[in-house]
């Protein structure tokens, strides 16, 4: 069973949960547990997620909160590891008494939390994790607003066809995002008649990627698809540039932090391609351009 909610339905579901909790406990505030990486290898993505959540909470509170109650974000650092992610969820539920969670940035960290949701019967909204396993294991307490990696793969490959790409190599982090993502992308590439060459793997914390990139360079292809997060993608771009890799670097949405990548890589990012669910540079092109423009403006104002 997959729980994928559009925003109005999601909001109604959360409002029902929060209403019941408020009535039972007479809370003065509605606590939302935010289980994100504040430290560790995924801290940059966690910081962006928390930043966005705070903007949303402030806007909701300025309009009177939910059911007359203000929202309070209770932030817990999951330290970019699955073990700490599960511990953070339990701490938020047991110690902080939150009635609902959001998290936990990566698929691996999110999957680690699922048993805690079942144990304590507390719902969680998944905002970024893309592995299909998150919502296909029959857990009734998990909901997602993030598209699955399979949905992204289908649309990503359409763009690759437009670019006349005939063969790709893979470089993937050995986590749920990388492993599930590469499998789904392989299916869609091969279905579109695009062949897949070598598949190189890297630990998500790896710093020296010279061996993997040398093997990729030795396998002629039009592009290399990199499945990892922003900081490691930046390493890939810099090291690929150093060894003269000519294959176009293409990155799925797990690394949709263009400003950070440009800051970390400079000229090495030139010519690379990314899929993103929100383009911060052209909010006017978004489906809800007024909302996107307001978010972008507030994000820039806060720095």
**132-153 residue pLDDT tens:** 899 998 999 999 998 888 899 9
What is the total residue count of the chain?
A: 303
Comparing 31-40, 177-186, 290-299, which segment has the lowest mean pLDDT? 290-299
**What's the mean pLDDT when you consider all of the chain?**
89
Name which of 87, 89, 106, 86 is nearest 98 in CA terms: 89
Same domain, 132 and 12: yes
**Domain assignment of residue 251, yes or no:** yes
Same domain, 153 and 136: no
Same domain, 113 and 172: no
pLDDT at 25 over 80: no
Same domain, 118 and 193: no
From 125, 144, 163, give the residue that closes a domain. 144
Same domain, 169 and 128: no
Same domain, 66 and 160: no
**Domain assignment of residue 280, yes or no:** no
How many domains is the chain partitioned into structurally?
Answer: 2
CATH number of the CATH domain containing 93:
3.40.50.2300
- Which stretches within the chain are classed as H helix? 7-25, 43-62, 82-94, 107-120, 149-162, 176-191, 210-217, 230-242, 258-265, 289-302
- Report DSSP state, residue 139: -
| Token couple for 291 | 């909302």
Q: Model's pTM, two decimal places?
A: 0.82
Same domain, 222 and 195: yes
**58-113 residue pLDDT tens:** 999 999 999 899 999 999 999 999 999 999 999 999 999 999 999 989 999 999 99
**Domain assignment of residue 77, yes or no:** yes
Residue 10's pLDDT band, with cuts at 50, 70 and 90, is very low
**Domain assignment of residue 31, yes or no:** yes
Same domain, 118 and 155: no
**Domain assignment of residue 285, yes or no:** no
pLDDT given for residue 7 in this prediction: 43
**Domain assignment of residue 286, yes or no:** no
- Report DSSP state, residue 281: T
Contact 1, 138 (CB under 8 A): yes
Comparing 61-70, 168-177, 181-190, 266-275, which segment has the lowest mean pLDDT? 266-275
pLDDT given for residue 15 in this prediction: 54
**Domain assignment of residue 117, yes or no:** yes
Structural domain containing residue 159: 149-274
């Amino acid at each position: 069973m997959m729980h994928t909610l559009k925003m109005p339905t999601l909001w109604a579901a959360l409002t029902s949960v929060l209403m019941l909790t408020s009535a039972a406990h007479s809370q003065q505030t509605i606590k939302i547990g935010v289980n994100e990486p504040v430290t560790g290898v995924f801290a940059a993505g966690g910081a962006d997620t928390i930043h966005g959540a705070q903007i949303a909470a402030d806007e909701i509170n300025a309009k009177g909160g939910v059911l007359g109650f203000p929202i309070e974000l209770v932030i817990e650092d999951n330290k970019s590891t699955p073990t700490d992610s599960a511990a953070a969820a339990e701490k938020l539920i047991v110690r902080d008494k939150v009635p609902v969670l959001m998290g936990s940035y990566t698929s691996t960290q999110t999957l680690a939390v699922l048993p805690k949701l079942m144990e304590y019967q507390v719902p969680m909204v998944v905002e970024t994790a893309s592995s299909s396993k998150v919502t296909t294991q029959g857990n009734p307490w998990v909901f997602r607003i993030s598209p699955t990696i399979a949905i992204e793969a289908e649309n990503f490959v359409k763009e690759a066809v437009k670019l006349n790409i005939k063969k790709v190599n893979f470089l993937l982090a050995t986590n749920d995002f990388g492993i599930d993502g590469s499998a789904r992308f392989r299916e869609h590439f091969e279905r579109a008649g695009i062949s897949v060459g070598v598949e190189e793997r890297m630990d998500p914390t790896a710093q020296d990627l010279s061996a993997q990139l040398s093997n990729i360079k030795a396998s002629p292809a039009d592009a290399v698809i990199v499945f990892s997060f922003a900081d490691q993608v930046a390493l890939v771009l810099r090291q690929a540039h150093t060894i003269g890799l000519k294959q176009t670097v293409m990155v799925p949405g797990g690394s949709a932090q263009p400003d950070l990548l440009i800051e970390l890589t400079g000229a090495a990012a030139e010519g690379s391609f990314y899929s993103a669910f929100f383009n911060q540079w052209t909010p006017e092109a978004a489906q809800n351009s007024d909302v996107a423009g307001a978010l972008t403006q507030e994000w820039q104002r806060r720095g």
